[in-house]
Structure 1
Amino acid sequence: MAHMLDIDQLRTFVAIADTGSFTKAADLVHKTQSAVSMQMKRLEERLGRAIFERDGRYSRLTEDGDRLLDYARRIVRLNMECLASFGDVDLAGRVRLGVPDDYADRYLPEILARFSRSNPKVEVTVVCEPTPMLVERVNSGDIDLAIITHVDGKNYSAEIIRVEQLLWVTSARHCVHDETPVPLALGRPNCNWRQSATEALEKAGRPFRVLYSSWNSTAVGAAVLAGLAVSVLPESAVRPGMRVLGPSDGMPALPACKIGLVRNHHDPTALANALGEHIIQSLDNLNVNRLQAAE
């Protein structure tokens, strides 16, 4: 008969996977390093597989470790949800959510409305910052979870909860995209959307110049609506007064935008898990509503 997995061991395993270090994980789960090492030895014995391999000073997941990680996250989260469902009182307290401002305008009204109706005693603190800063805040425990723009290959783990096409947009009343070089309004240099836009234009041989650079989506949108520049936005962010550009306008194709949810797995709470599920459901409903509106 197969052995049952220990949830506390899985929680420690997730902490090691996220930090890449037994020492750092020990601090997060409030155990000694020797206790963490013993837990992982017992977990490997239960599985009959090696789940870690050394990479210099750090510990890297094996192929079996990668496979276990997704199960471990779900088991730990379901355990929290189960305990919360049998609680004697309604959820109450404060949960901290991070979100870039360009997602806040589109997603927060639906998310917060749904969550407030189901959990009227919960206070949601919202932090609006760019994705790299939000990931750091989650890792340091400053916030409980964050909606981010996910980039493949980054050293953080995110649940992909929505995928949208990136689009070129300009003012519906102007033809600034016909200028050479084409003027652009984009995020800061390390913004993934900006990098996708400039790489696509360079590959297509289309001259461009970045005239406006800001983390603030309202400022970028204002430059577009005023007919001063072209920008890139996910499909759901296109506003009234904007026109989508395509190959017939001389604009190359852009990649899809992955929207992810990053959670603080080191100290999960019932409040954070409940809000995370509401976020996933709300963005799923947004997909459904879009399809229904198009029919």
Structure 2
Amino acid sequence: MTVLLDPDQLRTFVAIAETGSFTRAAEVVHKTQSAVSMQMKRLEDRVGRPIFARDGRASRLTEDGERLLDFARRIVRLNMEAVTSFADAELSGRVCLGVPDDYADRYLPDIMARFSRTHASVELTVICEPTNELVQRIAAGTIDLAIITATEITARNAQVIRRERLMWVTSARHAVHQEPVVPLALGRTTCQWRDIAVTRLATAGRGHRILYSSPNSGAVAAAVLAGLAVSVFPESALRPGMRVLGTADGFPALPPCDIGLLRNRHEASPLADALAQHVIQGLDNLTEQDAAQ
């Protein structure tokens, strides 16, 4: 029976070849490192040959891997061209996407670039606000789509498309996390992560106080990087200079962070559907994680 190669696996393979690392490739294709590793194992099974030779932390291609790389690049390019050619070129108008700034830096560039390539005549408006405010905007029908942090409350009408680790973070150059009463930088009182962080520390008997509060993740990150406070961030929002803290550092485990997509049910549109597909393709990692589990 003819073996067909998965274009998504090939896209990940090309990313590894170009970055030289499973870790950096995971950032490029917006998947977890474990999902990338699983994809490459499946690709090797399909090809029937080893395509990587480990060289320390680098991921070096074998001779068969080099041969596959040329085919992979052509297949991925043709796949993108095919999808683009069937995109509805007649779509025009405006579409509005809401996203918390926790996720904007990581996910927006890729979503905007791919959507612009396939729908050049569409005006895309992006609003960066906290999840709770985006949920209200969706309910009021003032925006078309929203990428949100999905909780028991906000996820009622959301399609959960991604799961990440929620982590304690501090500055890599400071030791504020060792203070007897840990200073915290968190979101506003309506922030779900703030509630989780405070509750987990209280349950663990760890002294703490909220020193900085802001709805802006950049402001919270600044307090962390300056060595003034500890905070909680999803994996996708980690920044250079941050250090992840764990139970060995005296910080209790945190629940995973689910990312969902909310749609305006009052006024569905082909434009919103098209943008939703780009969002799902760019963020989805649940299929790989479920398979791994």
- 1:227 maps to 227
Q: 1:129-148 residue pairs with structure 2 within 5 A? A: 129-148=129-148
- 1:257 maps to 257
Could you tell me whether the CA contact under 8 Å between 2:135 and 2:154 is conserved in 1? no
CA distance in 2, matches of 1:240, 1:286: 26
Could you give the per-residue CA deviations for residues 27-70 of structure 1, whole angstroms, max 9, x where no partner exists?
A: xxxxxxxxxxxxxxxxxxxxxxxxxxxxxxxxxxxxxxxxxxxx
- AA of the residue aligned to 1:237: A
CA distance in 2, matches of 1:137, 1:237: 23
Runs of 4+ in 1 over 4 A off after TM superposition: 285-288
Question: How far did residue 121 of structure 1 move?
Answer: 0.8
How has the CA–CA distance of structure 1 residues 280 and 154 changed in structure 2, closer, same or farther, with 3 Å as cutoff? closer
CA distance in 2, matches of 1:236, 1:194: 18
- 1:214 maps to 214
Q: 1:119-198 residue pairs with structure 2 within 5 A? A: 119-154=119-154, 156-198=156-198
Instruction: Count how many residue pairs are aligned between Structure 1 and Structure 2.
Output: 204
**Superposition TM-score, scaled by structure 1 size:** 0.66
Could you tell me whether the CA contact under 8 Å between 2:146 and 2:261 is conserved in 1? yes
Q: 1:54-93 residue pairs with structure 2 within 5 A? A: 89-93=89-93
Question: How far did residue 169 of structure 1 move?
Answer: 0.4
Question: How far did residue 284 of structure 1 move?
Answer: 2.9
Determine whether 1:109 maps to 2:109: yes
How has the CA–CA distance of structure 1 residues 96 and 205 changed in structure 2, closer, same or farther, with 3 Å as cutoff? same
- 2:200 maps to 200
- AA of the residue aligned to 2:278: H
Question: How far did residue 139 of structure 1 move?
Answer: 1.2
Q: Secondary structure at the match of 1:189?
A: coil
Identity of aligned residues (%): 63
Question: How far did residue 155 of structure 1 move?
Answer: 7.7
- AA of the residue aligned to 2:94: R
- AA of the residue aligned to 1:166: L
CA distance in 1, matches of 2:98, 2:232: 22
Could you tell me whether the CA contact under 8 Å between 2:155 and 2:260 is conserved in 1? no
- AA of the residue aligned to 1:233: F
How has the CA–CA distance of structure 1 residues 207 and 149 changed in structure 2, closer, same or farther, with 3 Å as cutoff? same
Q: 1:269-284 residue pairs with structure 2 within 5 A? A: 269-284=269-284
- AA of the residue aligned to 2:137: R
Q: Secondary structure at the match of 1:243?
A: strand
CA distance in 2, matches of 1:86, 1:151: 33
How has the CA–CA distance of structure 1 residues 192 and 173 changed in structure 2, closer, same or farther, with 3 Å as cutoff? same
Q: Secondary structure at the match of 1:232?
A: strand
Q: Secondary structure at the match of 1:227?
A: coil
- 1:241 maps to 241
CA distance in 2, matches of 1:234, 1:92: 35
CA distance in 2, matches of 1:282, 1:155: 19
Name the larger-Rg structure. 1
Q: Secondary structure at the match of 2:103?
A: helix
- AA of the residue aligned to 1:192: Q
Question: How far did residue 90 of structure 1 move?
Answer: 2.2
Q: Secondary structure at the match of 1:147?
A: strand
Question: How far did residue 138 of structure 1 move?
Answer: 0.9
**Superposition TM-score, scaled by structure 2 size:** 0.66
Could you give the per-residue CA deviations for residues 252-275 of structure 1, whole angstroms, max 9, x where no partner exists?
A: 100011111000112100000000
CA distance in 1, matches of 2:122, 2:184: 41
Q: Secondary structure at the match of 1:197?
A: helix
- AA of the residue aligned to 1:102: D
- 1:19 maps to none
- AA of the residue aligned to 1:99: V
